Amino acid sequence: MTMQETTETHRLETPASVSADAHPLDLATLYERFKRPLHSYIYRLLGSQEDADDLTQEVFLRAHVVWHDLHDHDHLSSWLYRLATNGCIDLLRRRKRLAWWPLTRRHRSSGPGGAGSDEDAAYLPLESGGIPEIFEREHIRLTLASMPPEYASALVLSAAQGLPYQAIAVILDISPGAAATRISRAKRLFAEQYQRLDPAGLGKPEEE
């Protein structure tokens, strides 16, 4: 995604832009406006089109169910992102639990001194087909999957969705200071994990 696309996404996702010109009671309008940024957010976080389809559907189903009881129509963007974030974190935690079960059994059979978290990485296939761009994309997803879900979601909201930390604080229901700290730690954690999983990528210069 280019920087221009990131900026465009950011502009569409700013909470204030929703209450300004969208009809507050029209869910279909809300869906048309937010289906792409929300789906992109979920897809980037989960790495699966099918899961992103399912969760996008669930988010708007949930919105549909509680729509009449929703009093705060001024922060619909943050509310939708919060629903999506909760769903993503729920699914990512479940994935980690599923991965933990066979790993536990394998460690028991192979004894102490195993490869530890490097074996976690082996559980997620790299379907690059030898294409560098796809390899890098899979590598980014692998790195995100290895992070705690709360940090991965904060990182994607900031770096990929282009949301400011103040908006992320509202979505995650934490203070702006806590959001800033979480984003900062998430970026460092990503950098460490990315380097650990891709030693060949160490020291690549930043492209200005």
Partner 1 sequence: MNHDPELPPIPAAGDAGSQGCAVVGLYLALLDDLSPEQVQAVFRHLAVCAHCTQELQRLRRTTRLVASLPASEPSPQVDQAILAALAAHREEQVPPRTSTDASIPVSRSEETAGTSQVPRSAGGSSSAGAGSAHRDPSLEPGSSWRRVWLCLACHPVLEWLCGLS
Scanning residues 109 to 128, which ones bind partner 1 (CB under 8 A)? none
When the beta carbons of 20 and 204 are compared against partner 1, the nearer one is 204
Minimal distance in Å, beta carbon 31 to partner 1? 6
And the tokens for 3? 């920087």
CA angle 95, 96, 98 (to 5 degrees): 65
| Contact (CB, 8 A) for 120 and 99 | yes
Minimal distance in Å, beta carbon 96 to partner 1? 14
Minimal distance in Å, beta carbon 42 to partner 1? 8
When the beta carbons of 3 and 20 are compared against partner 1, the nearer one is 3
How many residues bind partner 1 (CB under 8 A)? The answer is 80
Minimal distance in Å, beta carbon 21 to partner 1? 19
Residue 125: which region, alpha, beta or left (left: phi > 0; alpha: psi -120 to 50)? beta
Relative orientation angle of helices 49-66 and 27-46, to the nearest 10 degrees: 140
Binding of partner 1 by 105 (CB under 8 A) = yes
Minimal distance in Å, beta carbon 64 to partner 1? 5
Question: Among residue numbers 168 through 197, which ones bind partner 1 (CB under 8 A)?
Answer: 173, 175-178, 180-181, 183-184, 187-188, 190-191, 194
The CA–CA distances, whole Å, from 42 to 92, 152, 190 equal 11, 11, 18
φ and ψ at 13, to 5 degrees? -95, 0
When the beta carbons of 187 and 196 are compared against partner 1, the nearer one is 187
Binding of partner 1 by 94 (CB under 8 A) = yes
When the beta carbons of 74 and 136 are compared against partner 1, the nearer one is 136
Residues comprising the chain, all counted: 208
By CB under 8 A, name the one of 16, 17, 90, 106 that touches partner 1.
Answer: 90
Binding of partner 1 by 150 (CB under 8 A) = no
| Contact (CB, 8 A) for 190 and 145 | no
SS (H, E, C) 140-180: HHHHHHHCCHHHHHHHHHHHHCCCCHHHHHHHHCCCHHHHH
Question: Among residue numbers 13 through 72, which ones bind partner 1 (CB under 8 A)?
Answer: 26-28, 31, 35-36, 39-40, 43-44, 49, 51-70
